[in-house]
Amino acid sequence: MVSCLMTMRSEDNVPGDELGESVILLVEDSEEDILLLKRAFRNARIANSLNVVKDGEQAIQYLSGSGPHADRDRYPLPFLLLLDLRLLDRPPDAPAFSNTPTAT
């Protein structure tokens, strides 16, 4: 288990128009784990948008802005990537992703 200290946005102190700027991408195939994480975020009052993809191929498409994730207004680059490493055949190694914190 890797712990990651990040400043998350609290619902109490962030105007709604700024929330879209700090998306979290979750790569997870288990519906139960997705539900647990969403519940934990809600209980912690984390106001960041959470986008979910179900496998490594979808994650790579999301991060590269290809396929169904080509619309960057709808699918902005995340500031944090949460993933199950078993789902990724290869981690995104393009320079565009080098500044994205990753927690596994």
Count CB-CB contacts under 10 A for residue 25.
Answer: 25
Q: Where are the domains of the chain?
A: 16-103
Cα dihedral 91, 92, 94, 99, rounded to 10, equals -100
Q: Is 87 exposed, middle or buried (0-12, 13-18, 19+ CB in 10 A)?
A: middle
- The CATH superfamily holding the domain 16-103 is Response regulator (3.40.50.2300)
0.85 surpassed by pTM: no
pLDDT digits (tens, 9 = 90+) for 52-103: 999 988 999 999 999 999 999 999 999 999 988 776 555 555 555 566 666 6
The pLDDT of residue 70: 95
